[in-house]
Structure 1
Amino acid sequence: MFELNVVTNDEKHCTVEISGEIDLYTGPDFRDKLYSVISEEEKDFILDLSKLNYIDSMGLGLLVGALKRVKEHQHNIIILNPQNNVRKLFRITGLDRVFIIKEKES
């Protein structure tokens, strides 16, 4: 189970907090909710993953798909505060070179 909440939405960016687990079972609902948020705005998105406990390859693929959609409008997705196990998956898959990953919001 996961939760996705928009915590800030200003002129420059939209911050989305994602918590729980994203896997094969929650992936379709996660995709629908995330893509709905990013399709409403043409700006940078900050995905706060500090409360995301688990993500599998499907979830990572959905994040890549979201990044492609955002980049079509010359914007970006920033991954904020991923837990160590999530950060490790980004590193193992090479996605740490695709996404901007920050430890705290600046």
Structure 2
Amino acid sequence: MEQKTATIQIAKKPNYISIAFTGSLEYGLIEEIKKQLQSQSFQTELGFILDMSRVKNIDSTGFGMIVNFAKKASTQSKKIVIIVVDPFVRKLFTISQCDKIFPIVENETAALQVIQGNGHTELSINEY
């Protein structure tokens, strides 16, 4: 049986910050990731692209981490766009209704287009 892990990689880009997650964003695996997110600087022009293209699973703890980060980002007027390619993970975003508060795209090019424009969602982070 494969050992589950979770990692994060943060990269400052010219006008946004890319945060790439890998593995399973689940209870018991994300404590260190949560600490890194909580200490994240909001010194970015546009906001954040959360790259979940290498995420295999996410549970309520992982969604809670993302929502808490988004609430903090929204107080700084920063946008968040999420890249999700795995059909199973995309379905989990739909079930949790996180797809109603975050623009979900399939690649960085699409994420850049959304973050530079006025990507509207059904709900604001505070309505979620």
Question: Alignment partner for residue 16 of structure 2, among 2, 13, 17?
Answer: 13
Flag the 1:81–1:93 CA change in 2: closer, same or farther, 3 A. Answer: closer
Q: What residue in structure 1 maps to residue 7 of structure 2?
A: 3
Structure 2 unaligned blocks of 5 or more: 110-128
Work out whether 1:93 is the aligned partner of 2:93: no
TM-score normalised per structure 1? 0.88
- 1:51-70 matches, within 5 Å, as 51-70=54-73
Determine what percentage of the aligned residue pairs are the same residue.
27
Question: Could you say which structure has the greater relative contact order, defined with CA pairs below 8 angstroms and 6 or more residues apart?
Answer: 1
Structure 1 unaligned blocks of 5 or more: none
Q: Which residue identity is paired with 1:42?
A: Q
CA RMSD of aligned residues (A): 1.3
Aligned residues: 103
1-structure distance, mates of 2:97, 2:66: 13
Is the contact between residue 42 and residue 73 of structure 1 (CA under 8 Å) also seen in structure 2?
no
> Which has the greater radius of gyration?
2
Deviation track 1:74-98 (CA, whole Å, cap 9, x = no partner) reads: 0111101341111111101111010
Q: Is the helix fraction higher in 1 or 2?
A: 1
Q: Is the strand fraction higher in 1 or 2?
A: 1
Is the contact between residue 45 and residue 78 of structure 1 (CA under 8 Å) also seen in structure 2?
yes
Question: Alignment partner for residue 75 of structure 1, among 61, 78, 91?
Answer: 78
Is the contact between residue 48 and residue 82 of structure 1 (CA under 8 Å) also seen in structure 2?
no
Q: What residue in structure 2 maps to residue 41 of structure 1?
A: 42
Is the contact between residue 54 and residue 86 of structure 1 (CA under 8 Å) also seen in structure 2?
yes
